[in-house]
């Protein structure tokens, strides 16, 4: 086994279960999945595609909550153990820089990333079609929306957890305004979280891997390691019965993350359990966050299941890194286009 070290904080009390004996996949599910069931809040039918992180003496999260009027918004949740969650009864109210209400018509698939002392929430919203919204908070009481980073149509914005070369760095997936039958991941930089540029192609669907042949999109915030950024993403294939969303993994160059160093030709998790295969949209595993312990290399993946539930799955940095290396097929085009 090749060694790999997570660069970051220890998180000894994060959720964890050991790999079941004889299990032959690199990621294993929490036995108590799903961790959030239907109708979790009055007026909310389903919570899925949501992001969590450590906060104060526990955990905090931003949750995609499908209201019973059919409109998704982002709700705040808190937890002592990152498994049992208590949710606010009202959606997060975003304001503009002056403190005036500034709500998106709808908001879905949030990610939550801390850079320096500020927490950023990114989501998809309406902006003359699907586009990225972004807000910041330092106290989880006031949430100030920033300028939209990208033009429509775009989804799956994922910020890196630190600046690289002095700039903020964010993944996104240009798309259409419908269910998007295509899509590659791009990477962009900003000196100030307002003006975004140096857009680079990161990874596409041209690998020949059937499970991710339709579209790929960023997932959880990349994890810093001594071997590069460990990136989890979703890969989608179109079957005769619709899309199937699996989870893929790659390693990006630490100083120039537009370079894909290694990418697994095989998914690391695909819909198999009832809560992944059955729901509002069947066959969806959609990663939006991880918790990790730099001491042990343990990783807990938080992923949306069938647009209906939140699930947790476990792995370690070493398991994933070695799986990626064993199955590496980072395409030559990715190396060439990324090398700038």
Inter-residue contact 275 to 306 (CB < 8 Å)? yes
Q: Is 31 helix (H, G, I), strand (E, B) or coil?
A: coil
Shortest Å distance, C-beta 95 to ligand BMA: 25
Interface region with ligand BMA, contact rule CB under 6 A, candidates 4-12, 16-24, 254-262, 281-289: 281-289
Q: Which residue's CB is nearer to ligand BMA, number 175 or number 264?
A: 175
Bridge-based pairing state of the strands 260-263 and 107-115: unpaired
Query: How far is it, in rounded angstroms, from Cα 161 to Cα 311?
Result: 23
Interaction between residue 179 and ligand BMA (CB under 6 A): yes
Query: How far is it, in rounded angstroms, from Cα 27 to Cα 37?
Result: 22
Shortest Å distance, C-beta 153 to ligand BMA: 11
Interface with ligand BMA in residues 299-328 (CB under 6 A): 304, 307
Q: Show the site string, 188-227: x = touches ligand BMA by CB under 6 A, - = not.
A: ----------------------------------------
Shortest Å distance, C-beta 307 to ligand BMA: 5
Distance of CA 169 to the CA centre of its chain: 15
Query: How far is it, in rounded angstroms, from Cα 84 to Cα 78?
Result: 9
CA dihedral 148, 149, 155, 156 (to 10 degrees): -120
Interaction between residue 235 and ligand BMA (CB under 6 A): no
Task: Tell me whether residue 86 is exposed, middle or buried, using C-beta atoms within 10 angstroms of its C-beta: 0 to 12, 13 to 18, 19 or more.
Answer: exposed
Q: Which residue's CB is nearer to ligand BMA, number 67 or number 327?
A: 67
Interaction between residue 153 and ligand BMA (CB under 6 A): no
Interaction between residue 278 and ligand BMA (CB under 6 A): no
Interacting residues toward ligand BMA by CB under 6 A = 49, 108-109, 179, 281, 284, 286, 304, 307
């Amino acid at each position: 086994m090749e060694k790999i070290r997570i660069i970051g904080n220890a998180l000894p009390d994060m959720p964890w279960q050991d790999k079941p004996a004889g299990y032959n996949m690199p990621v294993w599910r929490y036995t108590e999945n799903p961790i959030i069931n239907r109708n979790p809040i009055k007026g909310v039918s389903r919570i899925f595609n949501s992001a969590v992180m450590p906060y104060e003496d526990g955990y905090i999260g931003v949750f995609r909550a499908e209201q019973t009027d059919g409109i998704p918004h982002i709700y705040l949740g808190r937890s002592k153990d990152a498994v049992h969650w208590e949710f606010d009864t009202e959606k997060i109210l975003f304001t503009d820089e002056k403190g005036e209400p500034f709500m998106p018509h709808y908001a879905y698939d949030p990610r939550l990333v801390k850079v320096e002392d500020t927490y950023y929430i990114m989501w998809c919203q309406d902006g003359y079609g699907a586009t990225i919204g972004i807000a910041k908070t330092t106290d989880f009481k006031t949430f100030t929306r920033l300028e939209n980073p990208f033009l429509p149509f775009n989804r799956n914005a994922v910020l890196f957890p630190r600046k690289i070369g002095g700039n903020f760095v964010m993944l996104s997936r240009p798309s259409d305004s419908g269910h998007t039958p295509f899509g590659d991941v791009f990477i962009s930089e900003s000196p100030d979280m307002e003006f975004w540029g140096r857009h680079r192609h990161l990874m596409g669907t041209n690998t020949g891997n059937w499970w991710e042949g339709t579209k790929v999109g960023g997932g959880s915030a990349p994890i810093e390691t001594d071997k590069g950024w460990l990136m989890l993403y979703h890969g989608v294939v179109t079957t005769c019965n619709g899309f199937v969303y699996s989870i893929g993994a790659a390693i990006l160059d630490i100083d120039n993350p537009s370079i894909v160093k290694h990418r697994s030709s095989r998914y690391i998790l695909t819909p198999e359990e009832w809560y992944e295969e059955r729901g509002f949209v069947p066959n969806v595993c959609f990663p939006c966050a991880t918790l990790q312990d730099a001491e042990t290399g343990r990783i807990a993946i938080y992923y949306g299941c069938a647009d209906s539930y939140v699930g947790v799955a476990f792995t370690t940095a070493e398991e994933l890194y070695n799986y990626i290396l064993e199955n590496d097929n980072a395409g030559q085009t990715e190396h060439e286009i990324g090398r700038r």
